[in-house]
Structure 1
């Protein structure tokens, strides 16, 4: 983890360099707040204008947009201070962009609590971060932004082109059948993984056997096109969470791993350019069990989701009204319902820490021959990291004999 220096933080924050496995905020006798967060240094926070506050009891469950929604429910001074404190700490530390709108999940650990469905707002282009009021100190557990079909932006068009490119590459890759959490659907890998070809320690996810020369040539063109999206993913992750970007860069550069978009294992690109080593694509009714991804070494996964046309892979608006197919978080009792979004959605979530599940699509979608729901997750694989650490000890010539690139 890249630790921030004292002069990068407000004068009210004093840093003690010590890492912890989880985050806890407690009120100390001297009115200091202690924040312990995975891969973030221990901080003694002494806000000059905010005193420590605790959570307030609630007899109901609701989702609050702290910026604009729920104005009919006046907040106490303590609640306003709590929100301000959240922005001053998590935002200042780069855990999420401090300009994001905060959605507060007002959930206690109650088996009878009702589920919350997202998105629950109308101002779709705004980026949101979800926090749990009863999970001190209200760190982000989920971040997302929807890019509407109704008013496409330059980012929308770039994400659309990336979705098309990823689908073309996935179409020529072998199915991943070793994932024990998958219940149905199709899963493909793009980018680099451990030992995808016989006699190789690492390389790209393997192509299907028996591809024609034309298909191989077309696939090579798509690999070349993929390079232009490396900068896009870098800028999108940085826009969501500077902390997530720095975490990924430290991990990926420690073992000199390639970026998902590289043509070869080695690249002349700056180490600051790298974000993730591979991307997993899911299609055709994909759903899985509730799980955590123990093979992901990065703290935050970045995902892109959209309904697409099966023939040309172009993202299309939602055409199915039945809800239920989405990204579910059972322990927090909320689901991002894919049928309720009217655009391309970006999501950041902690796959290795928080229990999550892609739920089964409606029958209408499963039986549709022309439309499917596309999802992808950018990540850094733990096994590839271990392989990269071994390869790092070899010379460039030795590495060439151990890995394969996309162009063959």
Structure 2
């Protein structure tokens, strides 16, 4: 605010001093020029021009100390002509400076008219910047809330992922145990097939023995001597048959128990696999939703960051323009002050030249009066001038 008030104070000072410091136009400066000299007065005067650095009084004293001559009159005329040319040049410069000062004052007034609008626009832009900052802070709070929600859902996702890994490990273990049980079932089935083969062989053997028994019974009468041996063999075969039938029943019971156990374990494994698959599907759906929410939050954050960067660039450009305008106003103020100082200096110089010219004219008039009073034709000169005036 200090820098904004400084140009306003300078504008007020310029506007207050505008009427006092405004210099006259070219016509007013021309009106300040000394009156034209009479050629007869210039011819009769013999005062030389004031040299640079020589006081006017010293020049007058040196003029009275020298006798008058035509050569000195010519030098005096040349000096007066040079001074007149210098005065005309100075007056032309002063008029040019006056025109430039008017142009500068016009531009300064234009800048004074434009600068309040620019300051008002800057204030509006500052208000917009404050609104944008409030919106950015609000969006930052929303982003913080979304990040908090994301931090709340992230442990759930990690826990679901751990449950998924554990379920997959249990499923793999169940599948491994199921494969082992299937291998054992195949092995037991092979053993049962072997036992059934042995049982069939035993049945065939029993049938063959029964046939042999029939043959033996038929030949019993003929082979009474071998009856005891055959009865022992029959007892042995019967004991083998009983043992084989008991073994067969035991194997059948084991096979039925293994089949029931495998069916129950398979049902439990299928149920656990279905539950794990359902939990996996739910966890994957939750993870997808959380990833979609995180992607949307990241997109909103990126858009907000882009908008904020663009607004920061606009604010920076506006600040640069404002500083440039303030620098230009300061520069124009300095140039205006310098032109005023130069104009005052030249006006003082013109006043000095006018004072010197008046002193020179007074000296010339006094010398002319003295010369007329000292000459023998002093009384006839006015008569001749009056006669010449009447003829004209």
TM range (shorter): under 0.3
Kindly indicate which of the two structures has a greater share of residues assigned to helix. Answer: 2
Larger radius of gyration: 2
Higher relative contact order (CA 8 A, sep 6+): 2
